[in-house]
Amino acid sequence: MPEVRDRVLAGQVTLAEAYHRAHESYLADRESIELVPEISGFSAGGMPNRVKCLHALAGHSLAAGPGVNPIGDAALERSTWSPTRCECSEPGAAKWSVLDLGCGTGLSGAAIAQYAKHLVGVDLSAKMLDKARERKLYHRLEQRDLLTMMQGEPESTFDLVFSADVFVYLGALDDLMREAYRVLRPGGHLAFSVESLDALAGGAAISSDSHDYRLNVTGRYAHSMAYLSRMAAHNGFEVREPLVCMQGSPLEITIPGLPVRQAHADDAERCNVLHFRVHGHTRQPEVADAIRQGLATVVERDGRITGYATLIGFPGHAVGETNGDLQALIGAAQIFIGPGFLVPTRNGDLFRWCLAHGLRVTQPLTLMSLGLYNEPNGVFLPSVLF
Ligand SMILES: C[S@@+](CC[C@H](N)C(=O)[O-])C[C@H]1O[C@@H](n2cnc3c(N)ncnc32)[C@H](O)[C@@H]1O
Whether 102 lines ligand 1, by a CB cut-off of 6 Å, is yes
Report yes or no on 37 lying in a domain: yes
Number of domains in the chain: 3
Which of 142, 166, 215 has most ligand 1 atoms within 8 Å of CB, for mutation? 166
Inside any domain, residue 125? yes
State mean pLDDT over 17-32: 81
Give the strand pairing for 158-163 and 96-101.
Answer: parallel
Q: Which residues pair with 255 in a beta bridge?
A: 258
Q: Are 243 and 385 in contact (CB under 8 A)?
A: no
Ligand 1 mean position to 35 CA, how many Å?
Answer: 53
pLDDT at 14: 75
343-360: pLDDT as tens digits: 998 899 999 999 999 999
Q: Report yes or no on 386 lying in a domain.
A: no
Helix residue ranges, H only, 207-283: 225-234, 268-279
Long-range pairs for 73-80 at CB < 8 Å and ≥24 separation? 74/1, 74/3, 74/4, 75/1, 78/1
Is 86 within the bounds of a domain? no
State the pLDDT at residue 13.
Answer: 56
Does residue 124 line the site of ligand 1, with CB under 6 A? yes
b/e burial code for range 190-220 (CB count within 10 A of at least 16 → b): bbbbbbbbeeeeeeeeeeeeeebbbbbeeee
Final residue belonging to a domain, choices 45, 78, 111? 78
Residue 11: per-residue pLDDT: 61
Whether 309 lines ligand 1, by a CB cut-off of 6 Å, is: no
Q: Is the dihedral of CA 217, 147, 187, 272 positive or negative?
A: negative
Q: Is residue 255 part of a domain?
A: no
pLDDT of residue 132: 96
Tell me how far apart the alpha carbons of residues 242 and 113 are, in angstroms, rounded to a whole number.
27
**Percent of the chain's residues with pLDDT above 90:** 46
Q: Is 104 in the pocket of ligand 1 (CB under 6 A)?
A: yes
Q: Which of 25, 44, 46 is nearest to 36 (CA)?
A: 44
Note down the domain range covering 353: 260-381
Q: Are residues 31 and 149 in the same domain?
A: no
Beta carbons of 382 and 342 less than 8 angstroms apart: yes
123 CB within 6 A, ligand 1: yes
Name 223's bridge partners: 196, 213
The answer to the question of residue 26 being in a domain is: yes
User: What is residue 52's predicted lDDT score, i.e. its pLDDT?
Assistant: 59
Ligand 1 pocket: which of 100, 105, 124, 145 to mutate (most atoms within 8 A of CB): 124
Q: Is 11 left (phi over 0), alpha (psi -120 to 50) or beta?
A: left
Residue 345 has φ and ψ, to the nearest 5°, of -75, -15
Give the rounded distance of the alpha carbon of 254 from its chain centre.
26
pLDDT given for residue 225 in this prediction: 79
Q: Report helix, strand or coil for 188.
A: strand
Helix (H) or strand (E) holding 247: strand 238-247
Q: Which residue has the least CA distance to atom 12 on ligand 1?
A: 102
Same domain, 272 and 314: yes
Residues 219, 132 within the same domain: yes
What pLDDT sits at residue 154? 96
In a domain, 247, yes or no: no
State the CATH number of the domain containing residue 355: 3.40.630.30
The three-class DSSP label of residue 137 is: coil
What mean pLDDT comes out for the span 146-165?
Answer: 95
Ligand 1 atom showing the smallest separation from residue 125 Cα: 25
Statement to judge: residues 58 and 165 lie in one domain: no
- Strands (E) across 44-89 are located at none
**Across all residues in the chain, what is the average pLDDT?**
85
Which atom of ligand 1 is nearest to 146's Cα? 20
Residue 251 located in a structural domain: no
282-296 residue pLDDT tens: 889 899 999 999 999
